[in-house]
């Protein structure tokens, strides 16, 4: 079971670039995609900083995060309505200092953080994935946290405690912990679970009633009939979940790290368009796209086989 090689999809571009002078071709390959994205992201940050419409409306997801500074309520929240705050109280507590900023400042800083995470994950592919995937463009506009979840998946292979972030926000990405279970990496699994429980326990000391209300929200999201707003792919989670488990288990047994973000996507309760952004974690976890900053870090940590680095030539034996 293998994904189609991304290189096959890029052959027309490769053919065009091959006609250019070698220094120009090298520069374009290494820098153009990254430089163009930095320009786009910088413009977006300034548009939000100066409160330019339509870059800072209240319907944005990141406005919901900012609004937690005024208080959090789960009692009347519909889990599948745009603009509802659905994450654990711990997330609101963690970003509380940022919510003290004026809304345009928060929006600008949040956008910059998303852009930085995207650059770290995919490097020179930043502008292509923004241009060619509606999910990433929508993610940048809405200010959702799927880019951060993608980064947490990558970092979580080395530092399992980072799994507390996706577990205490969208919950469903926790299916990625099957990787450790199938590989019998019990220490990493224990660290991920213990870290999550520790964060939850500390948070609950300060907001016990909110935690009770959040658990009730999770229960209602499963047991009650809900009205779903917005554009999404209408494949029920019960039909996708067995494939999510199978893909992650197969990947764990064969050391295919890139299966984890795919399994996480399939396990999400609702396949909103922006949720597909989680798949960008596949790019640093496969060798075809080349050396992104995240992949370089993974290689330094010896978490992936270094198939890109040329092997030293064999020294001929005298004789």
Supply the pTM of this predicted model. Answer: 0.87
In a domain, 5, yes or no: no
Q: Would you state the torsion angle of the CA atoms of residues 214, 241, 162, 79, taken in this order, to the nearest 10 degrees? A: -20
In a domain, 282, yes or no: yes
Euclidean distance between CA atoms 78 and 230, whole angstroms: 13
In a domain, 4, yes or no: no
Model confidence pLDDT, tens digit, residues 149-191: 999 999 999 999 999 999 999 999 999 999 999 999 999 999 9
Model confidence pLDDT, tens digit, residues 29-67: 677 889 999 999 999 999 999 999 999 998 899 999 999
Q: Is 74 exposed, middle or buried (0-12, 13-18, 19+ CB in 10 A)?
A: buried
The candidate with the shortest Cα–Cα distance to 131, out of 244, 13, 19, is 13
pLDDT over 90 (residue 133): no
More confident residue, 198 or 76: 198
Give the Å distances, CA to CA, from 295 to 2, 26, 27: 19, 20, 20
In a domain, 319, yes or no: no
Euclidean distance between CA atoms 260 and 271, whole angstroms: 16
pLDDT at position 164, please?
Answer: 97
What rounded mean pLDDT belongs to the chain? Answer: 87
- Cis amide bond preceding 54, omega within 30: yes
In a domain, 314, yes or no: no
Q: Point out which residues pair with 269 in neighbouring strands.
A: none
In a domain, 305, yes or no: no
Domain residues for 283?
A: 13-220+230-300
The candidate with the shortest Cα–Cα distance to 285, out of 300, 275, 295, is 295
Give the Å distances, CA to CA, from 294 to 200, 232, 281, 287: 28, 29, 9, 12
What does the block give as tokens for 157?
């292979």
Question: Any idea how long the chain is?
Answer: 319
**Angle at 262 (CA atoms; ends 119, 125), nearest 5 degrees:** 25
């Amino acid at each position: 079971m293998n994904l189609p090689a991304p290189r096959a999809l890029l052959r027309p571009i490769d053919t065009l670039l091959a006609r250019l002078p070698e220094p120009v071709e090298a520069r374009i390959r290494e820098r153009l995609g990254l430089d163009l994205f930095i320009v786009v992201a910088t413009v977006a940050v300034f548009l939000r900083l100066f409160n330019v419409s339509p870059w800072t409306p209240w319907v944005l997801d990141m406005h919901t995060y900012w609004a937690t500074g005024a208080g959090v309520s789960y009692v009347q929240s519909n889990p599948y309505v745009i603009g509802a705050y659905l994450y654990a109280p711990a997330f609101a507590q963690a970003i509380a200092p940022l919510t003290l900023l004026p809304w345009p400042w928060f929006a600008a800083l949040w956008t910059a953080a998303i852009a930085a995470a995207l650059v770290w994950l995919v490097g020179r592919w930043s502008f292509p994935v923004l241009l060619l995937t509606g999910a990433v463009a929508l993610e940048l506009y809405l200010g959702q946290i799927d880019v951060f979840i993608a980064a947490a998946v990558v970092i979580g292979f080395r530092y399992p405690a980072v799994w507390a972030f996706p577990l205490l926000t969208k919950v469903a990405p926790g299916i990625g912990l099957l990787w450790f279970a199938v590989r019998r990496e019990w220490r990493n699994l224990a660290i991920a679970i213990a870290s999550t429980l520790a964060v939850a326990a500390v948070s609950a000391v300060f907001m016990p009633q909110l935690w009770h209300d959040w658990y009730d929200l999770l229960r209602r999201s499963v047991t009650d009939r809900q009205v779903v707003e917005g554009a999404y792919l209408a494949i029920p989670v019960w039909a996708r979940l067995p494939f999510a488990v199978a893909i992650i288990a197969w990947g764990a047994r064969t050391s295919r790290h890139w299966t984890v973000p795919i399994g996480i996507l399939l396990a999400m309760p609702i396949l909103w368009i922006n949720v597909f952004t989680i798949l960008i974690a596949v790019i640093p976890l496969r060798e075809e796209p080349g050396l992104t900053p995240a992949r370089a870090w993974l290689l330094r940590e010896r978490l992936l086989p270094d198939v890109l680095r040329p092997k030293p030539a064999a020294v001929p034996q005298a004789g």
